[in-house]
Structures are given as C-alpha cells and as structure tokens.
Amino acid sequence: MLTDFTRDHAFTIAWFGLMAFVWFGWGQEDPPPRWRWRLGVASGLGAILAGGFGYSVALHAGDGSALDGRYQWFGVVVGLEVLLAGAGCLVLARRSQSRWMAWWVALVVALHFIPLALFLGDWSLALLGLIQAAALFVLLPRLRRSDEVTSRLVGPVMGVSLLAFAVVSAVVFLVRFGSPW
C-alpha cells in the first residue's frame, strides 16, 4: 500500500491478512489433499498479520485517514457491493449453480479494489484488483471443465494475492513507519 496515513496502511494490512485467512478457509471446502496443510499454514500467516497490524490500527485510531469526510460514501459503495455479491449468489443458488458462488464473490471483491483505490488515493489497490480479476478469468476454462466447487481454486488464488499484498505492504510499512507497535 502506498499511503501517508499510518492507520489506513495498518488497517489494510490487517484486513488483507484477515481476508486471506477467509479465502484460504473457503479454499479448504474441497481442496486436493496435498494442498490442505499449505492452506492451513497460509491461513495462519493471514491471521498473524491481521492480529499484529490490527493492534497497530488500535494504536493509531486517532490518526487521520484518507476516508475522513467520505465514510458515508465509502459505506454506500461497500453496501452496494455486498448487495451485488449476495444477489449474484441468490441467482446462482436458484439456478442450481451454487458451485460458482466463490468465483462470483471473488470477482465482486476484485472489482471492489478499483473504487477503494479512488477512496484511499492508492493505485496499488486498483492494480491488485485488476490482477485478481484477470486471474479469475484465466481460471474460467478450467472451472468450466470441472464439476468441482470453484472455491477449490478461487480461494487459494484470492488468498495468495491478498496475503502477498499484505506481506509486501507490511515490509513497506516497516521501512516507512518503523514498528507497527
């Protein structure tokens, strides 16, 4: 992440760690057996980042944010994205295509990084979202040839991208701001 706001930077690392934990968890819905321990270790790393930088967010709670004065608009955009993800999952469930829910939610999440980049003034987030969206479309042919749940591949793709972004962002944080605590 490239921001001058310590709290935003710490929050993004913590949130991406938590979301990596979630996506790796979803990837454990039906993984190949040899992936299980890797998904578990990666989930643990995400949880460690979430906890460590979550504490940093608490320490910097009074600091400024790029969202100051725009929280309501940020909330509206996120609310619309949640509705879009939920509506898409409802349509998929009604069409007996629930195996595609992970792919759909991942696409909404990936595209969510574009307005997030605008709100936070950080184009690295838009780049992350575009990389994720491209990876999801690259997975489509393989997913279409299979009857397995899409979370099997989508969870690790999203988890790896979020965890990698969080780790690189944590290094940037340490270089720019020093210890998060």
Q: Which among 126, 135, 169 has a CA at the least distance from the CA of 6?
A: 169
- Whole-angstrom distance, CA of residue 157 vs CA of residue 134: 11
pTM of the model: 0.94
- Whole-angstrom distance, CA of residue 146 vs CA of residue 6: 44
Question: What are the tokens at 106?
Answer: 């991942």
CB neighbour class for 128 (10 Å; exposed up to 12, middle 13-18, buried from 19): buried
pLDDT in tens, 48-107: 999 999 999 999 999 999 999 999 999 999 999 999 999 999 999 999 999 999 999 999
Q: pLDDT class for 116, splitting at 50, 70, 90?
A: very high
* Per-residue model confidence (pLDDT) at position 1: 79
* Per-residue model confidence (pLDDT) at position 122: 93
Q: Which among 127, 124, 134 has a CA at the least distance from the CA of 172?
A: 124
- Whole-angstrom distance, CA of residue 150 vs CA of residue 132: 15
Exposed e or buried b per residue across 87-124, where buried means at least 16 C-beta atoms within 10 angstroms of its C-beta: ebbeebeeeeeebbbbbbbbbbbbbbbbbbbbbbebeb
User: Mean pLDDT across the stretch 106-124?
Assistant: 95
